[in-house]
Amino acid sequence: MSRRAASTAILLLSLAALALVNILGQRFKFRLDLTADRAYTLDPATLRLIRGLPENVTVTAYFTDGLPPEMAVARQDFKDLLTEYGERSGGKVAYEFLDPGGSEALTAKAVREGVRPLLAQTRKKDRSENIQVLMGAVLRMGNRQTVIPALREGPGMEWILTSAIAQLARTDKPLIGVLQGHHEPPLRALDEMAVQLQAQYDVEATAIYDAFPINERFTSLLIIDPRDSIPPRHLERIDEYMAKGHGVVLAFGAVEAELARTAAVGMRDIGIGPWLASHGLEVGPGVVVDARCGQVSVLQSTIQQPVAINFPFYPLMDRFGSHPVGHGLDLVMFQFAAPITFTGDSTRLRYTPILRTSDKSGVLQAPLVVDLRHAWSDADFAAGPQVVGAALEPRDTAQGRLAVFSNGNFCTGDQGGQQVSLPQGNLDLMVNAVDWVTRNTGLLSIRGKQKSFRPIRDPGDQMRTLLKWLNLLLPVALVLLYGLARMQWRRRQRKQRMQPGHVR
């Protein structure tokens, strides 16, 4: 065979091999997910849900055509995700994409069904314009329906879609009671948290009465930021409720701070200390401070402009253990927390810290006065990590679970008397706690995929010095090694050329 014929045969065989690989790829799909959080692989909990659907689910996605590039990414990601759901569910999840931009009737229908209009900025003919767009979806199963009001580009899309499908598939959602009657925030102040919970639960306000036990139609009970004393009889009712296997989440603001009114900070006593001690926990005394913290705005007198300063009384936490309540969290911020200590019997109770502050933490004795001009030093943060969230579970009995946090307003958005938007991690923390005490942790693994805060860990002074010298010296060393190797090669070449008979 001539060289030209051989080259032609190799080319034809290569083309045939590529065609065969393409055909096999269409029939047998294979994808390798190399992301750290398996962002492009459906979670086993999602697969169990969509494969076991009692009826087919239809997703009607309303996306305005011609979205700005940063929003168009969300449309494509959502479409790819729906395609994956349809294939992996065996056809039980179907979808359609509609553009409501050209039809006022379709836009009105989408808004009526719960899709929320968003503002987007576009540029046409060198002019910037604000337009109203829709980026939501309505899900239907039989005669039931639910809505995803708005989708954003980024992590967490699988959690949003799976929780919406779970809401459709579950006809009898557990009922969560939010305790009232002790100056807790009203349910309307917990809107952000309630929206997160309503994907899997019904949420309703309730109260405790001396003469009647807590209604057992509530699967779990949330006690969020009580400010008034809780009578002993009410605490007995809570014990009776837990003895029947029901869980309780307690977010107790042990530190009393009203910075909008006064700089004085003290400990709050609502009579809950002995009850916590009976469950093996002590909250306080003292106020936790952390070098890794949030910031507050201070009006600087010289320039009359607000300046953001670190505020160690607002610890930021991004390290979580293996407990289910800490799963999938990215960043949690507390405001004026107290340390939690386990004082119970470890043979009877399983105690697990959920939240710890950083290694550079301290505990200040209260009462104290907050001084924004205080020069913080390492001596203020010498106490080491402090536990500010813990989980308790009886080892041998069917008694309910208890999750305790030493900050009451981390899920209420109340910052010094003003309502602020909550970090997503704070909301996820409360939802995880409710899932755990309710023993409903089936979808917890999916929420971990929505982490958006992924800081680079500080390697320490020694590792930083090593990396610095490596960056400086390694390229020089590689060049020198290459030069030495090339010099040796050239020397061998010259010796070979000097040998008799080298050139023929």
256 bridge partner residues: 266
CATH architecture of 174-450: 3-Layer(aba) Sandwich (3.40)
When pLDDT is averaged across residues 191-197 and rounded to a whole number, the result is: 81
Q: Residue 248 belongs to what H/E stretch? A: strand 247-251
The per-residue pLDDT for 127 is 66
Higher per-residue confidence, 55 vs 502: 55
**Residue entry with tokens 């936790």:** 288
C-beta separation of 149 from 176 below 8 A: no
Residue 144 neighbours by CB distance under 10 Å: 14
The per-residue pLDDT for 473 is 87
Does the domain at residues 44-166 carry the CATH identifier 3.30.9.10? Answer: no
Least confident of 73-82, 125-134, 188-197, 327-336: 125-134
The per-residue pLDDT for 403 is 94
Least confident of 21-25, 59-63, 122-126, 480-484: 122-126
Phi, psi values for residue 206, rounded to 5°: -150, 170
CB-based contacts of 125, cutoff 8 Å, min separation 6 = none
Least confident of 24-28, 99-103, 207-211, 272-276: 24-28
The per-residue pLDDT for 455 is 57
Least confident of 15-19, 211-215, 236-240: 15-19
**Under DSSP, is residue 397 helix (H, G, I), strand (E, B) or coil?**
coil
When pLDDT is averaged across residues 465-474 and rounded to a whole number, the result is: 86
C-beta separation of 222 from 249 below 8 A: yes
**Under DSSP, is residue 461 helix (H, G, I), strand (E, B) or coil?**
helix
Higher per-residue confidence, 448 vs 213: 213
Confidence of residue 69 (pLDDT cuts 50, 70, 90): confident
What are the Cα distances from residue 169, in Å, to 70, 136, 438? 32, 20, 18
CA distance 210 to 298: 47
Longest Cα–Cα distance in the chain: 114
Confidence of residue 3 (pLDDT cuts 50, 70, 90): low
Confidence of residue 299 (pLDDT cuts 50, 70, 90): confident
Q: Closest Cα partner for 337 from 416, 384, 387, 406?
A: 406
Write down how long the chain is. Answer: 504
Confidence of residue 362 (pLDDT cuts 50, 70, 90): very high
Q: What is the mean pLDDT of the chain?
A: 83
Confidence of residue 411 (pLDDT cuts 50, 70, 90): confident
**Under DSSP, is residue 401 helix (H, G, I), strand (E, B) or coil?**
coil
The per-residue pLDDT for 32 is 59
Structural domain boundaries of the chain? Answer: 44-166, 174-450
454, pLDDT greater than 60:
no
The per-residue pLDDT for 64 is 84
C-beta separation of 347 from 452 below 8 A: no
CA distance 391 to 401: 8
C-beta separation of 76 from 112 below 8 A: no
The per-residue pLDDT for 251 is 92
223, pLDDT greater than 60:
yes
DSSP string, 408-430: SSTTT-EETTEE-PPPHHHHHHH
Q: Closest Cα partner for 259 from 415, 423, 365, 421?
A: 415
The per-residue pLDDT for 40 is 65
23, pLDDT greater than 80:
no
275, pLDDT greater than 80:
yes
The per-residue pLDDT for 404 is 94
124, pLDDT greater than 70:
no
